[in-house]
Amino acid sequence: MGVASVGAALGLGERVPLELVACGVAGAAITAAIRALIGDSPASLAGAALAPLLMLAMLFDPALGGASVRAWIAIAAVGWTLVELARPTTSPLVAVLPATVAAVLDPSFVALIAIAGARLVTAPWERPRWAIAVPIAGVLLAVLAVVACVAHGGAFATLGDRWTGHAAEPIGLARLVGRTAQVIGPLTAVAALAGLAVLVRPRHAELAAAVCIAGAALVGMRTGGAGPALIALCSLTTGLAVGRFAGAIRLGAGQAIVGATAGVLLLVPPAWTAIEHGPRVQVADASR
């Protein structure tokens, strides 16, 4: 799916090598995250194949202005973090690195450090004495991100502009939901909401995905619309919804057929729009 994501980016007009690589890594990370969250089956495979392509199709929509390399790397880091949090490992510290990368690049993902740190300190084996500092630092950084997002002036507002890469244009949650549904389409919006049910599990990975969605919504309320982070997470939960929906069928062949059919229905509208409008025009990005 990483290779397929690069091919899709090429088909949608991207020609910058660095961004092609970033798109491929982000697509692979989203695919791996879905497999980690709902397991291996023909149904989950359908959702895992749909999510990165859907994400690319929506983010290459000229109405969104595209996504920067910074945004693609942040999305890839989130996927990596979810994978590390979902699988059993003898080194919970591994999840802290991608969580930190994602948090530094996008305040939507800042709570990942606290969750990765919480897993580190609750690991059932010997851990370093300084491990407790990781979740504490994560909580403090999350508080800083919230203050930066809600500030209307001063140094914190400037930090919010730099961190989000966008000047403040505050809107309410209801307007954000409406604008997001308008951007991703009604079918995808319903599927994305249905996919939230998969995250209602007492595990670090599901909690991390849920708080990332909340963080992306907060950033979207500050910037005035759905950004790359929220679109990517909507794609993730849509893939989870398709996997769970197709998984209700017992036969593996039936799961594959239903999953592929649902994927086509969800993917064709945004892909058609992105192809119809041709290569995107990159808007000014304050983060660069």
Q: Are 187 and 176 in contact (CB under 8 A)?
A: no
Please state the domain extents for the chain: 2-89+170-276
CA distances from 25 to 78, 79, 119, 205 (A): 11, 10, 25, 19
Q: Is 248 exposed, middle or buried (0-12, 13-18, 19+ CB in 10 A)?
A: exposed
User: One digit per residue, pLDDT tens: the chain, 288 residues?
Assistant: 888 888 877 777 666 788 888 888 999 999 999 988 888 777 778 888 888 888 888 888 766 666 788 888 999 999 999 998 888 766 667 888 999 999 999 999 999 999 988 888 887 767 777 888 888 999 999 999 999 888 888 888 888 888 888 888 888 888 988 888 888 888 888 888 988 888 888 888 899 999 999 999 999 998 888 888 999 999 999 988 888 887 777 777 777 787 788 777 887 777 777 666 655 444 434 444
- pTM recorded for the entire structure: 0.84
Q: Which residues does 24 contact at the CB level (< 8 Å), separation at least 6?
A: 2, 3, 5, 6, 9
Both tokens of residue 214?
A: 């909340």
Both tokens of residue 135?
A: 């979740």
**Backbone dihedral angles phi then psi of residue 92, each to the nearest 5 degrees:** -65, -15
pLDDT for res 87: 82
Q: Which residues does 58 contact at the CB level (< 8 Å), separation at least 6?
A: 64, 183, 184, 188, 231, 234, 235, 270, 274
